[in-house]
Amino acid sequence: MQYQFYTADVFTDRLFGGNQLAVFPHSEGITPQLMQKIAAEFNYSETVFVFPPETSQGTRRIRIFTPQTELPFAGHPTIGTAYILAAIGELVLDCNETIIYLEEKIGLVPVKILTQDGVPFYTELTASQLPLFGSETYAISDLAAMLSLEPNDLLCNDYFPQGVSCGVPFLFIPLRNRDAIARVKLNIERWQTLLSNAWASAVYVFCFEPELEESDLRSRMFAPNMGIVEDPATGSAAAAFAGYLAMRHPSPNITLKWVIEQGFEMGRPSILKIETDLIDGQIIAVRVGGSSVLVSNGTMNIPEL
């Protein structure tokens, strides 16, 4: 059978930036085994398969695959799928703002789509799982060696290495500056020894020295456990990162906002906008948003089983 697919660049407003995504809007009949093979064939960070909803609240049900495994939740596939479905006319859009609900393995994920003259230009998800914080600790020297850095390249203050998850756990490692970010080269052998069996095995490095004036932070993400050498824009990590940053803010009642730049070292610059609502010092909501652009469409010949 032939199945139509679309590709988009997510977390960017121009072609050939952001994070690539492939979406199959009508995936009925594709087995999970074939979904995994198709994701490996595209070899993007993720590929999404869309189905009719299974609940009365859901707009669509989606399954998200990296080249090696299925994920319960991921940010750029959620953002990008909503954008593609809106852009190709699969959704009924309200005047300027539409809320849809995507059924994912983690649960129902609300997504806001902003449009102008019927054309989507910005998409924002609200994480269905609030941040969970890990308790694992590591020697700075071990983390530095894993990143091919010196120990003094890592920060060791209120911002310390910590695992956080909004559905997928990431280990957040603060670095001193953009030069250290640029020099990161993940040592796979040391990663296997240190993190391959850890709760948070995906590595997210960041610093407070961005390149762009409108950005607040610079980041890179590596996930060998998912088959991702490096990711140009990681929405699920950004959601967890919002929690990491918020819990270090002194104001107990506030909405916090940050702009993250990622993917610059890969030649795929990406901009992710994150927000966290705090009430009485507790996180009550996390949001991740960004722009996307449609890149291509086509059909794939998939054998009937």
The per-residue pLDDT for range 277-300, each reduced to its tens digit, is 999 999 999 999 999 999 999 999
Q: What pLDDT does residue 280 have?
A: 96
Q: Which domain holds residue 187?
A: 132-287
Could you tell me if 140 and 232 lie in one domain?
A: yes
Could you tell me if 148 and 102 lie in one domain?
A: no
Residue range 61-79: mean pLDDT, rounded = 97
Could you tell me if 20 and 115 lie in one domain?
A: yes
> How confident is residue 303, by pLDDT bands cut at 50, 70 and 90?
confident
The CATH number given to whatever domain includes residue 20 is 3.10.310.10
Active site residue 275: no
Could you tell me if 139 and 257 lie in one domain?
A: yes
- pTM of the complete model beyond 0.85: yes
The 10s digit of each residue's pLDDT in 116-168 is: 988 999 999 999 999 999 999 999 999 999 999 999 999 988 899 999 999 99
> How confident is residue 100, by pLDDT bands cut at 50, 70 and 90?
very high
Catalytic residue among 41, 46, 150, 213: 46
Neighbours of 182 (CB within 10 A): 14
Q: How far apart are the first and last CA of the chain?
A: 10
Q: What pLDDT does residue 214 have?
A: 97
Residue range 104-119: mean pLDDT, rounded = 96
Q: What pLDDT does residue 95 have?
A: 86
Q: Is the pLDDT of residue 305 over 80?
A: no
3-state secondary structure (DSSP) of residue 117? coil
* Number of domains the chain is built from: 2
* Dihedral angle over CA of 179, 181, 184, 186, nearest 10: 180
Enter the tokens of residue 103. 């059924």
